[in-house]
A and B are shown apart, each in its own frame.
Chain A
């Protein structure tokens, strides 16, 4: 958390820790606004680049970094920070398309690589996924609720609107026939678990390939979650959740965009709407989480983390206090449900020779 952001908080609002309280007590009170997420991009970039150098070269004792680049904003910024930290000779960008990837992803990833002068490799993982039965197993699971579904259809999974209703977050599948007709059906437990389990092959196969190159060059693997993704568990355990370093996990997406502007990420990438690029139909974060743009979601998360009341936040994010309270509730619920994803393997007894925090 950038310190100058904390200073803009109203000192009267219950701060999250005694440390923060000590730093804010003597400061003038200000009203909560979108400015709390403004950062000094030059300073933060330099700090993170220094940390990457220290983590990779000293603490991990690796020669460089492998990073999967999707053409999205998060992986673009991490790649740029790694290049700033280590130079292009010690960073490898991997493009890992599969059968459902949008061609846009490869286009934007190439654009990034050219702008950074980044060495890259392309590994099409569709063959591995096919051999593992990823597509077949997913399609079989979808057919349990939509029998007419075939491999010629496109699909994605979506959640009900959690901002304006109290419905449980139970996923539905949306399919599109070759003629463009869309059908939506609520997933049963077995079909939901079947779709998720099969689809998770994608992230885990990508990670396997990243570690192949990491082993090949004696590099570390960089992960690319932003703060919301890290906090709320928007990752596959031992898939995209696995990495040796996660240099922007503490930054809100709003702040990642500020870094992107400073680091000279191509405008096309900055303007690209975020997508998970995991299902054949475009799936936005809003569809599996909240119908809120990232900047408003960031402000809600920041406000919740700093003990602000929904009534104070509502006018800034253009929601009702009741809607903000619902966002807070879902943040808590998702946090609790995804703690398992963050857990390291649990031992029956401690092994003192292997410390928890190396």
Chain B
């Protein structure tokens, strides 16, 4: 699966609770669409660290890098280690109830 598809799947599974948001485009802001709050960002960061071996500095934690599927895919693509083969599904975080 392409990184972008994986990321989109993670966001829809974990923050949209499987709801089919009408017209949710790859450039849509997660914040403006009410899909993610700061707790969700922490969950996303934990996933990206585990799944792709990315280390985040505080300055990385901005909407420029994380606030749409396309931004996420760009950021992850620029940071993921070419030889990273981390546990493929270990990063999946259970839904919060």
Interface residues, chain A, with chain B CB atoms under 8 Å away: 160, 165-170, 172, 186-190, 192-193, 333, 336-337
Q: Provide the residues of chain A in CB contact with B63, threshold 8 Å.
A: 166, 168
Q: Provide the residues of chain B in CB contact with A336, threshold 8 Å.
A: 34
Contact between chains at B39 and A168 (CB < 8 Å): no
In the bound assembly, the distance between CA atoms of A69 and B31 in angstroms comes to 38
Contact between chains at A167 and B38 (CB < 8 Å): no
Query: Which of the 9-residue segments B1-9, B16-24, B40-48, B81-89 touches chain A?
Result: B40-48
B66 at interface, CB cutoff 8 A = yes
B28-42 residues with Cβ-Cβ distance < 8 A to A are: 31, 34, 37-39, 41-42
B39-62 to A contact mask, C-beta < 8 Å, 1/0: 101110110000000001011011
Contact between chains at A167 and B61 (CB < 8 Å): yes
Contact between chains at A168 and B46 (CB < 8 Å): no
Q: Provide the residues of chain B in CB contact with A169, threshold 8 Å.
A: 38
Q: Provide the residues of chain A in CB contact with B31, threshold 8 Å.
A: 333
Interface size on B, residues (CB 8 A): 18
Q: A188-B42, A189-B43, A189-B46 are in contact. Are A337 and B62 (CB under 8 A)?
A: no
From A165, A168, A186, B38 is in contact (CB under 8 Å) with A168
A172 CB, nearest partner CB in chain B, Å? 8
Q: A336-B34, A337-B37 are in contact. Are A170 and B43 (CB under 8 A)?
A: no
In the bound assembly, the distance between CA atoms of A46 and B61 in angstroms comes to 49
Contact between chains at B39 and A167 (CB < 8 Å): no
In the bound assembly, the distance between CA atoms of A189 and B34 in angstroms comes to 19
Interface residues, chain B, with chain A CB atoms under 8 Å away: 31, 34, 37-39, 41-43, 45-46, 56, 58-59, 61-64, 66
From B34, B42, B64, A170 is in contact (CB under 8 Å) with B42
* Chain A residue nearest in CB terms to B49: A188
Contact between chains at B62 and A167 (CB < 8 Å): yes
B35 CB, nearest partner CB in chain A, Å? 12
Contact sample, A vs B, 24 pairs, CB 8 Å cutoff:
A160-B58, A160-B61, A165-B62, A166-B62, A166-B63, A167-B58, A167-B59, A168-B61, A168-B62, A168-B63, A169-B38, A170-B41, A170-B61, A172-B58, A186-B56, A186-B61, A187-B42, A188-B42, A189-B42, A189-B43, A189-B45, A192-B42, A337-B37, A337-B38
Contact between chains at B34 and A168 (CB < 8 Å): no
From A160, A165, A168, A190, B66 is in contact (CB under 8 Å) with A168
Q: Provide the residues of chain B in CB contact with A188, threshold 8 Å.
A: 42, 46
In the bound assembly, the distance between CA atoms of A126 and B66 in angstroms comes to 41
A235 CB, nearest partner CB in chain B, Å? 18
B48 CB, nearest partner CB in chain A, Å? 12
In the bound assembly, the distance between CA atoms of A190 and B34 in angstroms comes to 22
Q: A186-B58, A188-B42, A336-B34 are in contact. Are A166 and B66 (CB under 8 A)?
A: no
Taking A160-B61, A337-B38 as given, write out 10 further A-B residue pairs in contact, using a Cβ cutoff of 8 Å, ordered by the A residue number: A165-B62, A166-B62, A167-B58, A167-B62, A168-B63, A168-B66, A186-B61, A189-B39, A189-B45, A193-B39
B34, B37, B41, B42, most chain A CB atoms within 10 A: B42
Q: Provide the residues of chain B in CB contact with A189, threshold 8 Å.
A: 39, 42-43, 45-46
In the bound assembly, the distance between CA atoms of A194 and B38 in angstroms comes to 16
In the bound assembly, the distance between CA atoms of A166 and B45 in angstroms comes to 16
Contact between chains at A170 and B38 (CB < 8 Å): yes
Q: Provide the residues of chain A in CB contact with B58, threshold 8 Å.
A: 160, 167, 172, 186
In the bound assembly, the distance between CA atoms of A170 and B62 in angstroms comes to 10
In the bound assembly, the distance between CA atoms of A337 and B66 in angstroms comes to 19
Q: Provide the residues of chain A in CB contact with B45, threshold 8 Å.
A: 170, 189
Q: Provide the residues of chain B in CB contact with A192, threshold 8 Å.
A: 39, 42
B30 CB, nearest partner CB in chain A, Å? 11
* Chain A residue nearest in CB terms to B59: A167
In the bound assembly, the distance between CA atoms of A172 and B63 in angstroms comes to 18
B67 CB, nearest partner CB in chain A, Å? 9
Q: Provide the residues of chain A in CB contact with B59, threshold 8 Å.
A: 167
* Chain A residue nearest in CB terms to B65: A168
* Chain B residue nearest in CB terms to A188: B46
Q: Provide the residues of chain B in CB contact with A165, threshold 8 Å.
A: 62
B89 CB, nearest partner CB in chain A, Å? 18
Q: Provide the residues of chain B in CB contact with A170, threshold 8 Å.
A: 38, 41-42, 45, 61
